[in-house]
Structure 1
Amino acid sequence: MTRALFIVDVQNDFTEGGALGVEGGAAVASGITELLEKHRDAYRVVVASRDWHDADNDNGGHFATDAEPDFVETWPKHAMAGTDGAEYHPAFDTSEVDIHVRKGQGVPAYSIFEGIDDDGRPVAQLLDELGVTDIDLVGIATDYCVRASGLDAVEHGRHVRVFTDLIAGVAPASSDAALAELGHAGAVITESSVLDEAMA
């Protein structure tokens, strides 16, 4: 097998104090850094995504501009290109990241598969080129971008594991529902300790 680690949207705006901060986001950032310090060799490639929205428009209706956000289809402004909120959380050491993906550039985007790398290549093409068969998934937020990324990875024929100790969600009920949906789709819902067990 050829395994990739997908790190979804570990950005300042999605961690505590950010525009759409979730509880536990900073802990996820530091936990991912620890994972990479211990288990970087487990992965052929490490891919990290960021929301990277336009600052001068509503990004295809993604930003609420004329009414209050409904937090389902419309959101407060967040992760705008070039702002501190769009940057990776400082506790996430990106030195081991091979591919940086930006998504939502002018349009709504949740899944990492909707993003492109710095050379404009879509994620599915990158996985094919690298022969990736298995994906471990971590990041923010469980009930939105992690969910969408996991479902797309399964749809693209990959074996997916979601590490529940390295994700954080907007709300408990919707996060639980997202994990149940991912499990039903075929993803393995587990913890990153399986990497320690594999080394034992």
Structure 2
Amino acid sequence: MTRALLIVDVQNDFTEGGALGVTGGDAVAAGITRHLAEHAVDYAVIVASRDWHDPDSDNGGHIVPAGSEGAPDFVDSWPPHCIAGTEGAEYDPGLDTAAVTHHVKKGQGKPAYSMFEGVTDDGDTVAAVLAARGIETVDVVGIATDHCVRATALDALEHGQHVRVLTDLIAGVAAEPSEAALAELAHAGAELASSGRA
């Protein structure tokens, strides 16, 4: 078995009611949980990432702290979100992580969008985890289509993986950039699929 599931940033701050809540985020969490209940055995590795930003820091310009001069541009800089140790950084309660084999934290003190920029608690990169298990195919799900899902899928392609984006298990910030991200991924060689075909 040489397939992995990459679950990107299904966290409270990225689902409804969070600091950067995405419409459909809770539904994605529930959908991934259903997918895992039916298909966890189909994956040799299941990796879940979380944004995990340092408190009391702008994290390399990624976060514009409340009350500071200037405003986030929502492209390269953002309001405070997914601060380490806060409820917002935790997984959405609708996501059952029991089957997750590797938990990855990213953005610890610096900007990071792709889960490939993060590390496990043991310090392993996602690329190393996949290589160690001979993974050749990854399914990518999570939040947000137009940011961290896009970046993760592109990095997976760069690392030589066959990439499938399960389009019924993702949610984006906005429709237009999300559609553009999916078109870019398809052009780069990713397969756009449904979890029903997983």
Normalized against structure 2, the TM-score is what?
0.97
Code of the aligned partner of 2:54: D
Residue 191 of structure 1: aligned partner: 194
Unaligned segments of structure 1, at least 5 residues: 196-200
Residue 147 of structure 1: aligned partner: 150
Alpha-carbon offset, residue 122 of structure 1 = 1.0
Residue 42 of structure 1: aligned partner: 42
Distance between the aligned counterparts of 1:107 and 1:80, measured in 2? 12
Code of the aligned partner of 2:40: R
Alpha-carbon offset, residue 148 of structure 1 = 0.1
- Out of 81, 84, 87, the position equivalent to 1:81 is 84
- Alignment deviations for residues 4-35 of structure 1 (CA, whole Å, 9 cap, x no partner): 00000000000000000000000000000000
Aligned length: 195
Write out aligned runs for 1:80-159 (5 A).
80-159=83-162
Residue 10 of structure 1: aligned partner: 10
Code of the aligned partner of 1:107: K
Alpha-carbon offset, residue 41 of structure 1 = 1.2
Distance between the aligned counterparts of 2:186 and 2:64, measured in 1? 32
Residue 62 of structure 2: aligned partner: 62
Normalized against structure 1, the TM-score is what?
0.96
- The answer to whether 1:172 aligns with 2:175 is yes
Alpha-carbon offset, residue 175 of structure 1 = 0.1
Q: Secondary structure of the equivalent of 2:116? A: helix
Q: Secondary structure of the equivalent of 2:20? A: coil
Alpha-carbon offset, residue 94 of structure 1 = 0.5
- The answer to whether 1:162 aligns with 2:165 is yes
Identity fraction in percent: 65
What do you get for the CA RMSD once the two structures are aligned? 0.7
Distance between the aligned counterparts of 1:108 and 1:166, measured in 2? 24
Q: Secondary structure of the equivalent of 1:96? A: coil
- Alignment deviations for residues 104-161 of structure 1 (CA, whole Å, 9 cap, x no partner): 0000000010000010111111111111100000000000000000000001000000
Q: Secondary structure of the equivalent of 1:94? A: coil
Alpha-carbon offset, residue 185 of structure 1 = 0.4
Alpha-carbon offset, residue 81 of structure 1 = 0.2
- Alignment deviations for residues 72-96 of structure 1 (CA, whole Å, 9 cap, x no partner): 0000000000000000000000001
Unaligned segments of structure 2, at least 5 residues: none
